[in-house]
Structure 1
Amino acid sequence: MQRNPFELAEKLREKFGTDLQDVSLAFGEVTAVVPLSSYREVMLALRDDPEWRFEELIDLCGVDYAGYGNSGMEVPDKRFAVVVHLLSLTFNGRLRVRVFAEDEKMPEVPSVSDIWPSANWFEREAFDLYGILFSGHPDLRRILTDYGFVGHPFRKDFPVQGYVEMRYDEKEKRVVYQPVTIEPREITPRVVRDPDGGDGR
């Protein structure tokens, strides 16, 4: 039997109190916003406390809130966050936990890879794509981009065409990096119309 999300939200508020900045319920899913200072403590309790038993971390990702709120939604006061999705097999329940990094220039959040080993590669991915550092991570290095890659491609201020491109050079017999050579161009679709008012078919 699945745990009632309303009951889960209420129990989280009762148990953690000021250790949570917010608990919300939307589309049948509970989201808890945890302060950076109590992130590790709350995560350990969510795994180990018999009341919660979130045995599995099924996803962890970075979020860049720069420019967020253009659609009228509330804008967070911090730019980078880490969002973790937890699963309790014991109680058949899910929980989303969000923690914000304090420093926009060098965002850092404690690693939970020692709590849930599945977080290891997810944290490496968030580091690679968003530049979020995970203190205490055993092997924090790029996982998707090349070792010499400059920047973090999922940040909203990263240019769409990137900074450099790579290609194989026949003369040098190796891969070389060079400035991006894409020329901006406008692509206008060509529409063929039938003079009798049809669409040409």
Structure 2
Amino acid sequence: MTDFAIRPEDLQAQLAAVLGDRAQTSLALGELTVHVNAANYRDVMQTLQTAAGCQFEQLIDLCGVDYSTYRDVGTDGPRFGVTVHLLSVSLNQRVRVKVLCPDDDLPLVASVNDLWNSANWYEREAFDLFGIVFEGHADLRRILTDYGFIGHPFRKDFPLSGHVEMRYDAERQRVVYEPVSIEPREITPRIIREENYGGLH
């Protein structure tokens, strides 16, 4: 392992040379991001893992992203994406990889579970919470919600109250699902206008 990490600017130049036109790189706040389209994602990830000067042996995080509200501020583009953080222990360097899913109705990217075993549960979580499908994942199923759960709760259009509520029914001796009974509400901060509030006179 090297004692000092390579400078972000040098790593950017190095990865740009290795990846060529398969990806673009950007540098902000001393952190390097590789932007790749879905068609090149799997190939780029394999290169980042094995190529000399890259050697990112560990996938330390993978998460889904819903960019739907970006459209409210005039930014157009695909709604769903995946962000991955890779670590090279041997070269003491890190990189962030971002890929966008080209189809909003069926967000799909390749799985990298066979490259890094740690991607397994992360990809299942992104599938469960965002509905992103990881093509080639051997066991893609829900991991945090119930098997019969409807929808994907981290999508920005998912209602805060959910679609159903569950309770234990003593008569039937099982858990039952019913339509949500609470009304949606807007939470307004409580304002206290008492003159002596907090012991101030």
Q: One fold, TM greater than 0.5?
A: yes
2:194 equivalent in structure 1: 193
1:77 equivalent in structure 2: 77
Distance verdict in 2 for CA 1:52–1:76, change over 3 Å: farther
Do the aligned residues in 1 keep the contact of 2:14 with 2:53 (CA within 8 Å)? no
Do the aligned residues in 2 keep the contact of 1:193 with 1:200 (CA within 8 Å)? no
1:157 equivalent in structure 2: 157
Structure 2 counterpart of 1:138, one-letter code: A
Deviation at 1:190, TM superposition (A): 6.2
Structure richer in helix, relative to its length: 2
Equivalences for 1:10-159 in 2 at 5 Å?
10-20=13-23, 22-68=24-70, 70=72, 75=75, 77-159=77-159
| CA distance, structure 1, for counterparts of residue 185 and residue 97 of structure 2 | 42
Do the aligned residues in 2 keep the contact of 1:65 with 1:80 (CA within 8 Å)? yes
Deviation at 1:200, TM superposition (A): 6.0
TM-score by length of 2: 0.91
Deviation at 1:106, TM superposition (A): 0.6
Q: Does 1:4 align with 2:28?
A: no
Q: Deviations over 1:58-97 (max 9, x none)?
A: 0000001001265x6x735111111110000111111000
Structure 2 counterpart of 1:98, one-letter code: K
| CA distance, structure 1, for counterparts of residue 90 and residue 55 of structure 2 | 6
Q: Deviations over 1:133-167 (max 9, x none)?
A: 00100100000001110000001111111100111
Give the root-mean-square deviation of aligned CA atoms: 1.7
Deviation at 1:118, TM superposition (A): 0.3
Could you say what secondary structure the match of 1:53 adopts? coil
Distance verdict in 2 for CA 1:76–1:86, change over 3 Å: farther
Could you say what secondary structure the match of 2:127 adopts? helix
Deviation at 1:187, TM superposition (A): 5.8
Q: Deviations over 1:112-151 (max 9, x none)?
A: 0000000000000000000000010010000000111000
Could you say what secondary structure the match of 1:162 adopts? coil
Moved over 6 A (4+): none
Stretches of structure 1 that go unaligned for 5 or more consecutive residues are none
Aligned length: 195
Could you say what secondary structure the match of 2:122 adopts? helix
| CA distance, structure 2, for counterparts of residue 81 and residue 190 of structure 1 | 39
2:171 equivalent in structure 1: 171
Stretches of structure 2 that go unaligned for 5 or more consecutive residues are none
Distance verdict in 2 for CA 1:186–1:2, change over 3 Å: closer
Structure 2 counterpart of 1:62, one-letter code: G
**Percent of aligned positions that are identical:** 54
Deviation at 1:4, TM superposition (A): 1.1
TM-score by length of 1: 0.91
Do the aligned residues in 2 keep the contact of 1:129 with 1:153 (CA within 8 Å)? yes
